[in-house]
Amino acid sequence: MNPKKSYRFTFVILIISLIALWFLNISLGSVSIPFKDIISSIFNGIASRDTWHTIVVNYRIPKAITAIMVGAGLSVSGLLMQTLFRNPLAGPFVLGISSGASLGVALLILGSSLFGGFAFVSTSNFGMAIAASLGSFLVLSAVLIAANKIRNTMSILIIGLMFGSLTSAIISVLAYFSSAEQLQQFIFWGFGSLGNLNWNELAIFGSLFFIGIVFVLFIIKPLNSMLLGENYAKSMGVNLKRTRNIILIITSILTGVITAFSGPIAFVGLAVPHLTKLIFNTSDHKILIPAVLISGAILMLIADMIAQLPLSEYTLPINAITSLFGAPIVIWLLVRKRKIYV
């Protein structure tokens, strides 16, 4: 038996599915475009009709790339949180990081009426990205400071949930004083959307995503030693403080930028690490991190295709689709594998 070989096989299948799904994702949409025109738009830069070319290049490709980065980024953040807190229930959403990002965006969109001075700050995607990153960083730091004072993991989760409630409360207050137009803008942001990005915004998103992922590669080794708990990790030469800070920064950059550009997308960050651990049956982050990145991207591409409601004009909120179709799958897998997965 060679475990490495079987991992390689699974990876090949996952990568092929990812590529196939990416093309499928681009082929589907409210406007029906023949597959050969899709291919020629991508590779030759022309299609039978100019509008088709525009739709593919300026709308569908950015959306498919966004889906990949959102899925991969949230999933890897969830994995980092689960390893750091040594708790399978941890994820960016549970610990209130997404709520922090929401608070940042809420302050920007809704707060402008309360604090007139901020009104000149643009509510462009870029401004929202900064606000959401700051918000998520703030909440995650608060949770971690609290985590350092109390060792009990359950208390940390409760504190995370409390921060979540706290930020929702502040958002409610802000919403109360906001105009209907601002409220609508905020609620639509909360539905989640992958299709709002132009190529310039995609470039910003992509660079931050890339920076985050590169940092992740450098903490694979300490993440593995943290599987034995912090004291063992320290005894094996891990600089805990530095590792914790890197995890903190990566997670807040990734969740912050994702939440800003695509809204607070639930479920993916919690579920994909579990799905991946069930498929690969390992805790080795050298395997898990690439696996989680690819699985998250696949899940998001599928969710986006379902949300499109192929051949119809409607697009459902992506945030609902991820949970609606993903949660039953995770429940089914956990129940089926109950005996193995303690």
Partner 1 sequence: MKDSNKHSILKTENLSIGYTNKKKKTVIASNLNIELQKGTFVCILGKNGIGKSTLLRTLSKVQPKLSGNVNIHGKDLNSFSEIELAKTMSLVLTEKLPESNLTVFELIALGRQPYTNWVGTLTKSDVDKIHKVMGLTKIEQLSKKKYYELSDGQLQRVLISRALAQETELIILDEPTAHLDVLHKMESFKLLKELASQLNKTVIVSSHEIHLALQTADELWLMTDKEFITGTPKDLIENKSVEKLFDSDTVHFDFKQQQFILKQK
Rounded Cα distance between 64 and 70, Å, is: 10
Nearer to partner 1, 286 or 309 (CB): 286
- Is residue 41 near partner 1 by the rule CB under 8 A? no
Q: Which two tokens stand for residue 106?
A: 């809420």
Which range in 104-112, 138-146, 165-173, 225-233 contacts partner 1 by CB under 8 A? 225-233
In the bound complex, what is the minimum distance in angstroms from residue 175's beta carbon to partner 1? 39
Rounded Cα distance between 224 and 286, Å, is: 8
Which range in 112-120, 157-165, 190-198, 278-286 contacts partner 1 by CB under 8 A? 278-286
> Of the candidates 90, 238, 257, 300, which one interacts with partner 1 according to CB under 8 A?
238
Rounded Cα distance between 244 and 81, Å, is: 10
Nearer to partner 1, 36 or 242 (CB): 242
> Of the candidates 23, 42, 59, 86, which one interacts with partner 1 according to CB under 8 A?
86
Nearer to partner 1, 227 or 329 (CB): 227
DSSP 206-220: HHHHHHHHHHHHHTH
What is the dihedral angle through the alpha carbons of 151, 154, 160, 161, rounded to the nearest 10 degrees? -160
* DSSP 8-state secondary structure symbol assigned to residue 342: -
User: Is-contact 254 76, C-beta < 8 A?
Assistant: yes
> What are the residues whose beta carbons fall under 8 Å from the beta carbon of 239, sequence distance 6 or more?
222
> Of the candidates 34, 229, 310, 328, which one interacts with partner 1 according to CB under 8 A?
229
In the bound complex, what is the minimum distance in angstroms from residue 114's beta carbon to partner 1? 39
| HSE (side-chain half, CA atoms, 13 Å) at 261 | 31
What is the dihedral angle through the alpha carbons of 162, 87, 297, 217, rounded to the nearest 10 degrees? 110
Radius of gyration of the chain (CA): 21
- Is residue 227 near partner 1 by the rule CB under 8 A? yes
Nearer to partner 1, 88 or 328 (CB): 88
Q: Which two tokens stand for residue 195?
A: 């299709």
- Is residue 88 near partner 1 by the rule CB under 8 A? yes
- Is residue 124 near partner 1 by the rule CB under 8 A? no
- Sequence-ordered alpha helix ranges (H) in 219-341: 220-225, 230-235, 240-262, 268-280, 285-308, 318-336
In the bound complex, what is the minimum distance in angstroms from residue 249's beta carbon to partner 1? 18
- Is residue 99 near partner 1 by the rule CB under 8 A? no
- Is residue 146 near partner 1 by the rule CB under 8 A? no
Q: Which two tokens stand for residue 156?
A: 């940390």
Identity of the amino acid at 88: P
Rounded Cα distance between 280 and 210, Å, is: 25
Determine the size of the site formed for partner 1 (CB under 8 A): 26
Binding mask 281-320 for partner 1 (x = CB under 8 A): xxxx-x----------------------------------
Nearer to partner 1, 127 or 286 (CB): 286
User: Is-contact 27 35, C-beta < 8 A?
Assistant: yes
Nearer to partner 1, 166 or 284 (CB): 284
Which range in 33-41, 64-72, 229-237, 313-321 contacts partner 1 by CB under 8 A? 229-237
> Of the candidates 225, 252, 255, 308, which one interacts with partner 1 according to CB under 8 A?
225
Rounded Cα distance between 294 and 82, Å, is: 18
In the bound complex, what is the minimum distance in angstroms from residue 85's beta carbon to partner 1? 9
Which range in 56-64, 114-122, 193-201, 277-285 contacts partner 1 by CB under 8 A? 277-285
Site of interaction with partner 1 (CB under 8 A): 86, 88, 217-218, 220-221, 224-225, 227-229, 231-232, 234-239, 277, 281-284, 286, 342
